[in-house]
């Protein structure tokens, strides 16, 4: 478990740090810095974005290493799915939950769940069936039912980072919340599906297998969410009761980071969906825990979480670029390059069809439940949502390695075909579709024209954080008129779910766990003084 170096393969935490490992670390850190600098210089470019830049730099670096090593290696690091799932993914998902505008997210929660869960199941079914027919038609090699189902889960995992970089959640709150929320729920659903498939003996299928699979899926989904909520509430309660800010803001920050990571590793320990757990832990922490710490700790945690997420994303895309040229995987499929290319093209086509098969029908169903025109998903927004989910990224790569390889290498031809095809689809979708994302969004959504000029460095993550964006009408002092007719009552109900939740939250949750207006009094805290001034 952990990181290994490729030339020669040396453990990162070896007893004696030799010269080769130090050089490897220096090169990789230098490349990370180069990605940030070049991404900044290309900020105004119409086509490029941070993800595409990191992959292109990774490809160029891999090519240079391949030439220097005379074709023996293309990477500085050997990929480990543990490195991805245990160290790189948690800060990305946690920051997503921590900085989301909760009111907008939960207002569209049913539509997000429709896309992220039901839509992923539809895409999973179509891709799994298509993979079964494809492998039989092209005679790729002996594969089992579990392999076809795993392929469906692997290629159902989206990566909407490129689209989110050019969308603005203040200008297009509905579209941003749908793309953002669906991406997180989709990744969680794909991983839960993958783990559920791995835990079942599919060689003996009976009439109850399908129900068991669905039951296991729902169990993982619900328990994982509850674990994240409990971890977030526990951190809020401890920080509120013990008043860490009296003596040390460092302890507050450290406890928030460690409690967030603890929720993730606990979910992994109990074989739950760690993505869902840490995402909802981030939401709960931003709603309760974050308001219980001092002002300096609030600013510090925002910067830390956003920066860790940003570096992890760049790390992943940079490595995917280098790993794509790994000679070991391509040697196995070199005898039939046409078959590998055809498989990649067919899988990419399944991704296109599988996504269209649920985005447009489910958008139609969602619109039937909406009364106000601005709440409905128009045609241009549907196309943007469809496009946002076409890109495949690190989750697909990690799941493919977990299923079809051992420690980054494979010797069986069908497994090698699946891994190389996954890499090809990820590279093509990220680079080609990613290059077209900015022009497409500008064309379909001209109102977001200046959104592309938003920096995609950590500042873009911090901007929405520095303003909470979570205030309700009551908090802002806005008077909401009571409906005067039955039609207005249907379109603008007086007592919404959010209304009842706020009453329960203010009456029971915030007095116990803290939050805005219920933070503990810490003498001398600038946060407390400003809070008292506002309340008075």
Give 203-217 pLDDT, tens digit per residue: 666 667 677 777 877
pLDDT reported for residue 213: 74
Q: What is the pLDDT of residue 21?
A: 76
Q: Over the stretch 284-324, which tens digit does the pLDDT of each residue have?
A: 999 999 988 888 889 999 899 989 988 988 888 888 888 77
In the predicted structure, residue 15 carries a pLDDT above the cut 70: no
The model's pLDDT over 236-261, given as tens digits with 9 standing for 90+, comes to 999 988 877 777 788 889 999 999 99
Give the helix ranges, DSSP H, for 409-457. 413-428, 434-444
What CA–CA distance (Å, rounded) separates 192 from 153? 9
The mean pLDDT of 365-370, rounded to a whole number, is 87
Q: Is residue 472 very low, low, confident or very high in pLDDT (cuts 50, 70, 90)?
A: very low
Cα–Cα distances in angstroms (integers) from residue 218 to residues 64, 143, 224, 276, 345, in the given order = 47, 27, 10, 12, 33
Backbone φ and ψ for 78, nearest 5 degrees, come out as -95, 130
With contact defined as beta carbons under 8 Å apart, do 365 and 119 qualify?
no
Map tokens 């606990």 to a residue.
266
* Residue 51, both tokens: 């993800």
Cis amide leading into 245 (omega within 30): no
Over residues 3-10, mean pLDDT: 43
The count of other CB atoms within 10 Å of the CB of residue 207 is: 6
Per-residue model confidence (pLDDT) at position 493: 43
d(CA 61, CA 176): 34
Select the more confidently predicted residue: 79 or 359. Answer: 359
What local confidence, expressed as pLDDT, does residue 33 receive? Answer: 92
For residue 48, report the phi and psi dihedrals to the nearest 5 degrees.
-85, 155
User: Sign of torsion, CA 467 469 470 473?
Assistant: positive
Q: In terms of Cα–Cα distance, which of 185, 281, 189, 180 is closest to 226?
A: 281
3-class secondary structure, 77: strand
The burial of 300, by beta-carbon neighbours within 10 Å (0-12 exposed, 13-18 middle, 19 or more buried), is given as: middle
Q: For residues 412 and 427, what is the distance between their CA atoms, to the nearest angstrom? A: 23
Per-residue pLDDT at 473: 36
Cα(408)–Cα(420) distance, integer angstroms: 12
pTM of the model: 0.76
pLDDT of residue 410: 60
Cα dihedral across residues 97, 103, 108, 109: positive or negative: positive
CA distance 328 to 339: 17
């Amino acid at each position: 478990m952990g990181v290994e170096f490729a030339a020669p393969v040396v453990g990162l935490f070896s007893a004696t740090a030799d010269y080769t490992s130090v050089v490897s670390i220096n090169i990789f850190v230098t490349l990370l810095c180069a990605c940030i600098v070049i991404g900044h210089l290309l900020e105004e470019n119409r086509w490029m974005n941070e993800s595409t830049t990191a992959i292109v730099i990774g490809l160029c670096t891999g090519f240079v290493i391949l030439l220097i090593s005379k074709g023996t290696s293309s990477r500085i690091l050997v990929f480990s799915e543990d490195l991805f799932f245990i160290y790189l993914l948690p800060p990305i998902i946690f920051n997503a939950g921590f900085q989301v505008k909760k009111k907008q997210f939960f207002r569209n929660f049913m539509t997000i769940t429709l896309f992220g869960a039901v839509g992923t199941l539809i895409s999973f079914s179509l891709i799994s069936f298509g993979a079964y027919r494809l492998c039989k038609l092209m005679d790729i090699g002996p594969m089992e039912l579990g392999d076809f189902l795993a392929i469906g889960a692997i290629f159902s995992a989206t990566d909407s980072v490129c689209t989110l970089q050019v969308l603005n959640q203040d200008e297009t709150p509905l579209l941003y919340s749908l793309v953002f929320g669906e991406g997180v729920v989709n990744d969680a659903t794909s991983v839960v599906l993958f783990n559920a498939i791995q835990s079942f003996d599919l060689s003996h299928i009976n009439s109850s297998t399908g129900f068991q699979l669905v039951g296991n899926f729902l169990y993982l989904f619900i328990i994982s969410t509850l674990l994240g909520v409990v971890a977030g509430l526990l951190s809020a309660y401890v920080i509120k009761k013990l008043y860490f800010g009296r003596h040390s803001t460092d302890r507050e920050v450290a406890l928030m980071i460690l409690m967030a990571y603890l929720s993730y590793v606990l979910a992994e320990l109990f074989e739950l969906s760690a993505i869902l757990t840490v995402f909802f832990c981030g939401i709960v922490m931003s709603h309760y825990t974050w308001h219980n710490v001092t002002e300096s700790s609030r600013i510090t945690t925002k910067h830390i979480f956003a920066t860790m997420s940003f570096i992890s994303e760049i790390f992943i895309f940079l490595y995917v670029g280098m790993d794509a040229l790994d000679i070991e995987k391509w040697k196995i499929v070199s005898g039939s390059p046409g078959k590998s290319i055809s498989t990649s093209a067919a899988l990419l086509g399944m991704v296109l069809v599988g996504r269209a098969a649920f985005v447009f029908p489910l958008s139609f169903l969602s619109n039937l439940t909406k009364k106000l025109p601005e709440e409905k998903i128009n045609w241009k927004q549907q196309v943007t949502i469809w496009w946002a989910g076409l890109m495949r990224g690190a989750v697909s790569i990690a799941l493919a390695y977990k299923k079809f390889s051992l420690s980054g290498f494979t010797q069986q031809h069908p497994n090698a075909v699946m891994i190389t095809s996954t890499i090809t689809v990820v590279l093509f979708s990220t680079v080609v579709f990613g290059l077209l994302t900015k022009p497409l969004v500008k064309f379909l959504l001209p109102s977001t024209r200046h959104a592309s000029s938003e920096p995609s460095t950590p500042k873009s993550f911090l901007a929405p954080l520095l303003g909470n964006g979570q205030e309700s009408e009551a908090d802002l002092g806005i008077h909401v008129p009571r409906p005067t007719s039955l039609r207005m009552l249907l379109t603008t109900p007086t007592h919404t779910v959010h209304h009842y939740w706020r009453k329960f939250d203010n009456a029971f949750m915030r007095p116990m766990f803290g939050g805005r207006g219920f933070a503990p009094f810490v003498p001398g805290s600038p946060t407390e003084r400003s809070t008292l001034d506002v309340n008075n």
